[in-house]
Structure 1
Amino acid sequence: MTTRWLTSEEQRAWRAYIAASHLLEDAIDRQLQQEAGMPHVYYSILANLSEAPDRRLRMTDLAERTKITRSRLTYAVTRLEKDGAVRREGCPSDKRGSTAVLTDEGMTLLERTAPGHVDTVRAALFDRISPEQVGQLEEICASVARGLEGDDAQAPPDDVPWRRRSPGPCT
């Protein structure tokens, strides 16, 4: 198989993407650490739980939504449990499964932190691009995500840690 090297234009686009994504993640992490003492991934866990029915998600589903490994999620949820933001419950229909639940304290933390987070995202990203570019960014990112999720769907479950098959909702 012959390597398809990046063109000069693709190389510039790739490097610009890498620089922008690293700087954006750094800006978001810095703001969240200063305001709430948590990294972006912890905020994402709280945000995903806040949007779920009854503010609860099976751990495997939460790992898939946040795109982190189950072991990293377990570590993060343990830390959030110690802070009182999340609690874990067993799954009656699957003794090996567990559910993460956003507590009232966690919801309060999220509500207190969200305005600064949104301000940071707006200042770091959306204030720097035109409304037309917002639509283009969404289209590009959605296309890449769909393609990669399609690739993941073809991979064995053990190769994609957050896509391991869940037996279904806890009931």
Structure 2
Amino acid sequence: MYSMWLSAEEQRVWRGYLAMVAELQVAMNRQLQRDCGLSLADYEVLVALAERGAQRMFELGEALAWEQSRLSHQLRRMRERGLVSRQGATDDRRGATVTLTDAGRAALRKAAPGHAALVRSVLFEGMPATRRKALSEVIDTVRERLRESPV
């Protein structure tokens, strides 16, 4: 039977994980802002559209695991800066399609090298292949459990 509280070790691991994710997001956001004037959210949208092509709003939201309101606000800001365009019915958010503009593609090309370098330097450099594999397995297991969970 499980206790209603995490054990001391579980708590240490969990809080360490949360701190790592927060610190990594801050570092990525700062690097992107400094080097190319993009936010981490901008970058995530640009990458998703570059990888998948034009997306309906709900598909893009699912791909990013974002709530619809967050996505709508983010896309509005990105449209105002000319990074993405939106086509489709104005009264049906699910029916609207989002695409990268030429400016969005250029911004992604400018941002990607520095972003990859940061992620590589803080996460992968010096990490043996066995640890990378173990980390990948943990991530896959948690994501699978979340997909199966009714939460």
What secondary structure sits across from 1:125 in the alignment? helix
The aligned residue for residue 158 of structure 1 is none
Runs of 4+ in structure 1 off by over 4 angstroms are none
1:5, distance to aligned residue in structure 2 (A): 2.0
The one-character-per-residue Cα deviations of 1:108-133 (angstroms, maximum 9, x if unpaired) are 11011100000011112112522211
Q: Counterpart in 1 of 2:68?
A: 70
Structure 1: gaps spanning 5 or more residues: 156-171
Quickly say closer, same or farther: Cα 1:111–1:76, change in 2 above 3 A. same
**How much does 1:107 deviate?**
0.7
Q: Indicate the residue corresponding to 2:18 in structure 1.
A: 18
Q: Is the 8 A contact 1:27 1:124 kept in 2?
A: no
Aligned: 1:27 with 2:8: no
Unaligned runs of 5+ in 2: none
Distance 1:84 1:2 in 2: 51
8 Å CA contact retained: 1:24, 1:125 = no
> How many residues are matched?
149
What CA deviation, in whole Å up to 9, does each residue of 1:69-121 have, x standing for no partner?
11111111111111111000106xxx721011011211111011100000011
Q: TM-score, normalised by structure 1?
A: 0.80
Give me the whole-angstrom Cα distance separating, in 2, the residues matched to 1:25 and 1:132.
25
Q: Cα RMSD between the aligned structures?
A: 1.9
* Code of the aligned partner of 1:44: E
Provide the rounded CA distance (Å) in 1 between the counterparts of 2:143 and 2:55.
22
Q: Does 1:8 align with 2:8?
A: yes
- C-alpha contact (below 8 Å) 1:29/1:40 kept by paired residues: yes
1:103 aligns with 2:101: yes
Residue 144 (structure 1) shift:
0.5
SS at match of 2:125: helix
Q: TM-score, normalised by structure 2?
A: 0.90
The aligned residue for residue 163 of structure 1 is none
CA contact (8 A) 1:32 1:40 kept: yes
| Corresponding position of 1:115 | 113
